[in-house]
Each structure stands twice: as C-alpha cells, then as structure tokens.
Amino acid sequence: MIYIITTWFAPSSIHRSSLLIMQRILYMIEKEFKQLRRNKVLLRMMLAAPVMQLILLAYAANFEVKNLKIAIVDQDHTTYAQRLAGKFRYAERRQIGNFLFQGYLPNSKSAYEELLAGRADLVLIIPPHFERDLGKENQASVQLLVNAIDGTKGGIASGYAQTIIRDFNLAIRTENIDFDAGSLAGLNVTNQYWYNPRLEYKTFMVPGILFELMLLIGGMIAALNIVREKEIGTQEQLNVTPIKKHEFILGKLTPFVIIGLIQFTLGLVVGRFLFQIPIEGSLLLIYGFAFLFMLLSVGLGLLISAISDTQQQAMFVVFFCLVIFILLSGLFSSTQDMPQWAQYLNLLNPLKYIIEVGRNVLLKGSTLRDMQSQFFTLLGMAIALIGLASWRYRKTV
Amino acid sequence: MDKAVTTHKLTKKFGDFVATDEITFEVAQGEIFGFLGANGAGKTTAMRMLCGLLTPTSGEATVAGYDVYTQPEQIKQRIGYMSQRFSLYEDLTVRDNIRFYGGIYGLSRAELKTKSASIIRELGLDSVADALVESLPLGWKQRLAFSVALIHDPKVVFLDEPTGGVDPITRRQFWDKIYEAAHNGTTIFVTTHYMDEAEYCDRVSIMVDGRIKALDTPTELKRTYGVDSMDGVFQILARGTSGK
Ligand SMILES: Nc1ncnc2c1ncn2[C@@H]1O[C@H](COP(=O)(O)OP(=O)(O)O)[C@@H](O)[C@H]1O
Ligand SMILES: [Mg+2]
C-alpha cells in the first residue's frame, strides 16, 4: 500500500382586479419580446454565446492540462523507485496526463525552489527506504508537492499523478501477487475528483460556464435594457402611467428569465452532445435551480439599473460585479485554495453556489437534499436582490 | 372639483438652485393653458411635479382634484403626458406602440381595437401602421405621441414642447389636434417657446427664472404691455430681468 501525502504548495497567496394586473404584465412581456425580435444582433449574440463560449473553453482546456512540468527527488535509488519515476517520465507515451520531465533534484529544499521559481508544477519525492517499506511492511508513502497557484492546474496535476501512482501500485501487485495479502480494495488513493474520474477539464467547466452566461444575460442585458429606457425617455413615459411597481418589476423580470432558460437549454444541449457532459442528477432539479438563479441574476440587473442613469454606468457596475463573481466563483480555480478573506467574500457570491450545484447535480447526481444549503442561500439572495431593486425603483424622484 | 390644476407657492430646489420658485396658479377644466418661458425657465420642472414624476420641495398642488404629494397614482390614471423628449418606442411599429400604452392604461381588448383603428385613421397612418416608428417624419411621430397620450381619455393632458423642431404647417396641424381634444373637454397644459402658439391659448403664464411674471389671456397681456404680439410681451418680460 502506498500512501500519498499531497502538499498543496501555494506561496504568498389591491384595489384593482387581479386580471388588470396580469394584463399589464402581459403587455410588458409582449413588448419586450417584440423589441428583442427586432434586435437581431442581440438575439444572435445571446443564442451564439453559449455555443461559442463552450467551444472556446473546450479548446482552452486542451491547452490547460498539457505540459505539466514534473521534477523528481529520488532519495531511495532502488529499482522500485526508478520504476515509479519512469512511470512519470514516460507517462505521455501512455497518454496519462502530459508530464514534461524536468530532471532529478537532490533534495526537498531544491524541490521547493523549483516550485517557487515556477520551473516545476509538481515534484514527486520518493523517500529513503521506499522499496524496503513496500516489501517489508507492504506499505510506503511518497510525497507530492503541487504548485497550487493555479488551483485547477494543480488539481489536475495531482489527479494525474495519483492515477499514475495507482497504476504503478496495481502493476507491482499483479506481478507480485504474494505481495498483496489483502484485497485490491486497499489500493484506493484519496481522490478529490472522484466524480470526474477522467479529470476532464471541460466536464468540469461546462456547468460553470452555463451559469456564468445566465448571470451575464440576467445582469447585463436586463440592466442595460432598463437603463436604455431611462436614456430614451420611455421610462419616464411609463412612470406617468398607473403601472404598479411590482407590475413593472415582473414585466421586466419574466422575459429575461424566459430568455435565460432558453439559453441554458441550448448550452445544456451543446454540453451534452458536443462535450458528453454527464447529466447524472434530476433534470427538473437542475431547471429549478436554473430558474432560481435566473431570478437572482435579473434581480441583480434590476438593482443595477435602478442605481445607474446611463448605460455606461450600468455596464461598468455589471462588469465590476461579474469579474469579481467569476474570479471567485471556483470556475477557474478551486475556491478552497483561496485566501481566507476571499473565502469570506465568496459567501456573498451567487455564482459560487450555483456552480457547486451545477457540478454536483450534473456530474455527481446530487439531490435537492444534498443541495439544500445552496438552495436556501440562492433563494435568500434572489429575494434580497429583487426586494432591493423594487425598493430602489421609484416612479417619483 | 372645478379646477383641473391648482398650485400654491409650488417650489422645486436642486441643491441651492431654485428651478421653480413659489409658483401659484389655477387652470380651469377644458382650458388651453400655455406655459411659456425661455429655456431653463423651469417649465419642465413644474410640469414634472404636476405629473407626479418629481416630488416638490415645498408648496401645494392638485391635479384633477388629487394631491401631488399623497395621491400621485390617482393623478396618473387621469392625466396624459407627452414629454419634451419623444417617448414612443422607435423600434416598435405604430400599432405596437398604441397597443402597448393602451394595454398599460388598462384598456380592454375591444377598446384597444377601436382606439387603435380610430387613431390610425384620424392621423392618416394606414399605410405605415405596421412600419417602425423610427421611420416616420418627426411631425407624424409627435401627433402619434399626442394621440397615445390621450388613449385613456385623460382629464388633463400635459404637453412639454410638443412641436419642437417642426415646420409651421405641421405645427398648425398639431394645434388642430389640440383644439379637437380641448373641444372634447380635455384640459390642455402646454409649454412652448413659439410665441405664435401662445396666441392659440386661452390663457398663458410667462415664466422667467423659475417665477411666473405674468398670467392672463393673450389679448389682455398684449394690452397691458402695449404691444401687438405675444412676442412683444415676452421680449419685455424676459429682457426686463436679464438686461438689468
Ligand atoms: N434634475 C436636475 N438637477 C439639477 N438641476 C436641474 C435638474 N432638472 C432641471 N434642472 C435645472 O433647472 C432649471 C430649469 O430646468 P427646466 O425645468 O428643464 O427648464 P425649461 O423646461 O423651462 O427649459 C435648469 O437650469 C436646469 O438646469
Ligand atoms: Mg423644458
């Protein structure tokens, strides 16, 4: 049995009839779709965006996991140690990961230096007595130092390394049956990516990208839409009509939620058939969450439109929020590796929760029960945002 | 309720700047009330307070018998407003715009249908009813906006420089529509800086730097200031303050 000690190495880092209310909302929605139908550029962009982003990121993924630089500290100098090292040196030939062997290092101090300087992404340390322990005690440990500045890359590197070590483990056990007194079950190494066993970057990315796009549509398109009405003066025209606050809010909310769900569907179809992402969990559940998240996104857009007077202002605020949300979301790097303050900030990041939901429900098949804390957090955020937006929206200034 | 609009020392300040300074006046029902003044005199500000778009700093005002502070929603059901900026949707058709605003004002399907047909017929827009509003000439757009502002048969309609930027003939046509609405009992509250249009009003007020300097019928104003046109009256009042 080989234990792997993975060290994550990251330096410095009502008096009216309800019918009339319905009627107004319906006229608002109808108008919005009529306008959208005529806005060919926006329409095309909204439909093309999920497909394009997914394809783009899939290519980026190929680039991302290539050329992982590995160095090895062999303190044992035995046959087994060399065989294990060889597995890493020639991993590429057998298409397990893409390690670029950088050479042997004398000791762990130099290993740290290599990591610090960025000359290695991963250092495998084979301690003294590796072979002896493996033979005598039927277990031994190796140490993996992973450069986790880029958390995703680090995660993938460590995942590949574990796969290789497991391979090696299996190999020595099958060729040396008496080595293995127990069963093969003892071979399991801790693998934090167990629900994405092939460690496919795109499988991991697709759910994230889908929701990131929904936030973009909800936040940006809705905010710009309303601020544009302010700019051209139709908002003022609406404000002299007897339309009620909640009618206006619902009239703006509904079309964008519908558009967001259409886009989500499109993205899901592309993800499923072009990238073979699994859909392990309930489709109804994932749509329920998509609906909730879209409400939240449009709520954010409404709030931003309420505090902006021009499209430029709105655009700036949306970008500011989006960039922070996306960077902290765990879409590109693992949230656990972020500094404490970033993790606290992340408690307010809706994208973080929905990406957790997306990955868990789609890839792992999690249920609503598993996701209830995310559900209540997102629900609370949606209510807060829509509530704030309604409160800020004034017909009379 | 016998007055369409009343104000008493109605004031709006933006910071230290007094845009509308203690204006007091009354507008009778069915009257065409002209609200004159140079650019920046405070006409739009006053109008926006009356329409419930802007909260006054102080003073009182009622529209159609309702208080602007406490009953803005009741006011909104009973007024039409055509803002200084053209405010129909340019990316919707003539028919779509009528349908949208009619729908928002709570017209029934049947009402919408007849209103839509009669507006398009009266304005002679049959050939462009399904064209985008952006493709119409400015004069047509303005008359359409006016008709849309009247779609729910409001008691008072506020027109903020409704004829800005069009030729005299088109303006004359627009005023025909105003007369027609007034004839049907709608109170017209209109701002303009075209002095010939002032002659068409029942009464006019002349605003200078946020204050009302004169308020009477055009005939009476001309007699008081001893000139033969409203332009003459305006020159005396406006120059009187800015010259000294
Ligand atoms: N929201 C505002 N904030 C600050 N000043 C304003 C605002 N609205 C109008 N003003 C100022 O009030 C004055 C009167 O404006 P306005 O009522 O639009 O005049 P008019 O319609 O007669 O041309 C102008 O000097 C204008 O700059
Ligand atoms: Mg004005």
CA distances from B52 to A58, A114, A120, A396 (A): 54, 70, 67, 6
Higher model confidence: residue B40 or residue A135? B40
Contact call for A237 and B52, based on CB within 8 A: no
Q: Do A245 and A287 fall into the same domain?
A: yes
Q: What is the mean pLDDT of residues A371-376?
A: 93
Q: Is residue A79 over pLDDT 70?
A: yes
Q: Do A148 and A273 fall into the same domain?
A: no
Q: Do A205 and A337 fall into the same domain?
A: yes
3-class secondary structure per residue, chain B: CCEEEEEEEEEEEECCEEEEEEEEEEEECCCEEEEEECCCCCHHHHHHHHCCCCCCCEEEEEECCEECCCCHHHHHHHEEEECCCCCCCCCCEHHHHHHHHHHHCCCCHHHHHHHHHHHHHHCCCHHHCCCEHHHCCHHHHHHHHHHHHCCCCCCEEEEECCCCCCCHHHHHHHHHHHHHHHHCCCEEEEEECCHHHHCCCCEEEEEECCEEEEEECHHHHHHHHCCCCHHHHHHHHHHHHHCC
Split at pLDDT 50, 70, 90, the class of A12 is very low
Q: Do A231 and A140 fall into the same domain?
A: no
Q: What is the mean pLDDT of residues B121-144?
A: 92
Residue A94 DSSP class? G
Q: A342 C-alpha vs ligand 2 centroid, how far in Å? A: 49
Q: Do A255 and A325 fall into the same domain?
A: yes
Q: Is residue A195 over pLDDT 80?
A: no
Please tell me the least confidently modeled range out of A57-61, A178-182, A302-306, B59-63. Answer: A178-182
The protein residue whose alpha carbon is closest to atom 27 in ligand 1 is B40
Q: B193 C-alpha vs ligand 2 centroid, how far in Å? A: 10
In a domain, A212, yes or no: yes
Q: Is residue B171 over pLDDT 70?
A: yes
Split at pLDDT 50, 70, 90, the class of B232 is confident
Q: Do A210 and A324 fall into the same domain?
A: yes
Task: Kindly report, residue by residue over A20-68, the tens digit of the pLDDT.
Answer: 668 899 999 999 999 988 888 888 888 888 788 877 876 665 545 567 7
Domain edge (last residue) among A185, A216, A245: A185
In DSSP terms, B18 is beta-bridged to: B13
Q: B46 C-alpha vs ligand 1 centroid, how far in Å? A: 10
In a domain, A155, yes or no: yes
Contact B207, B22 (CB under 8 A): no
Minimal CA separation from A392 to chain B, in Å: 15
Sign of the torsion formed by the C-alpha atoms of B177, B179, B185 and B190: positive
Q: Do A72 and A37 fall into the same domain?
A: no
CA distance A51 to A249: 30
Q: Is residue B52 over pLDDT 50?
A: yes
Contact A156, A199 (CB under 8 A): yes
Q: Do A161 and A124 fall into the same domain?
A: yes
Atom of ligand 1 at shortest range from CA of B12: 12
- Residue A210 main-chain phi, psi, to 5 deg: -55, -45
CB neighbour class for A324 (10 Å; exposed up to 12, middle 13-18, buried from 19): middle
**Homologous superfamily (CATH) for B3-84+155-239:** P-loop containing nucleotide triphosphate hydrolases (3.40.50.300)
Atom of ligand 1 at shortest range from CA of B43: 22
Angle at A276 between CA A270 and CA A277, to 5 degrees: 85
Domain edge (last residue) among A160, A185, A210: A185
Angle at A58 between CA A56 and CA A62, to 5 degrees: 115
**Secondary structure (3-state) at A147:** strand
**Secondary structure (3-state) at A281:** coil
Considering only the beta carbons, identify the residue of A35, A241, A395 that sits closest to B104. Answer: A241
In a domain, A300, yes or no: yes
Q: A225 C-alpha vs ligand 1 centroid, how far in Å? A: 26
Q: What is the mean pLDDT of residues B44-48?
A: 95
In a domain, A106, yes or no: yes
Q: Do A181 and A206 fall into the same domain?
A: no
Residue A243's closest chain B neighbor by CA?
Answer: B104
Contact call for B100 and A24, based on CB within 8 A: no
Contact call for A27 and B106, based on CB within 8 A: no
Q: Do A149 and A95 fall into the same domain?
A: yes
CB neighbour class for A13 (10 Å; exposed up to 12, middle 13-18, buried from 19): exposed
Tell me which residues of chain B have a C-beta less than 8 Å from any C-beta of chain A. Answer: 51-55, 72-73, 76-77, 79, 81, 83, 85-92, 96, 99-101, 103-106, 132
Q: Do A205 and A72 fall into the same domain?
A: no
- State residue B74's pLDDT score: 92
In a domain, A375, yes or no: yes
pTM across the whole model: 0.77
Q: Do A253 and A159 fall into the same domain?
A: no
- Number of compact structural domains in chain A: 2
In a domain, A296, yes or no: yes
Split at pLDDT 50, 70, 90, the class of A336 is confident
Minimal CA separation from B200 to chain A, in Å: 26
Q: Where are the domains of chain B?
A: 3-84+155-239
Domain containing A120 — which CATH number? 3.40.1710.10
Structure tokens belonging to residue B229: 């046109």
Contact call for A243 and B85, based on CB within 8 A: no
- A87: domain range? 68-185
Structure tokens belonging to residue A9: 């190495």
Residue of A160, A197, A198 lying closest to A6 (CA atoms): A160
CA distance B235 to B175: 24
In a domain, A4, yes or no: no
Task: Kindly report, residue by residue over B97-116, the tens digit of the pLDDT.
Answer: 999 999 999 999 999 999 99
Contact call for A23 and B83, based on CB within 8 A: no
A61 C-beta neighbours (distance < 10 Å), count: 20
B42 within ligand 1 shell (Cβ under 6 A): yes
Domain edge (last residue) among A151, A185, A219: A185
Q: Between the ranges A324-333, B201-210, B224-233, where is the mean pLDDT highest?
A: B201-210
Contact call for B81 and A237, based on CB within 8 A: yes
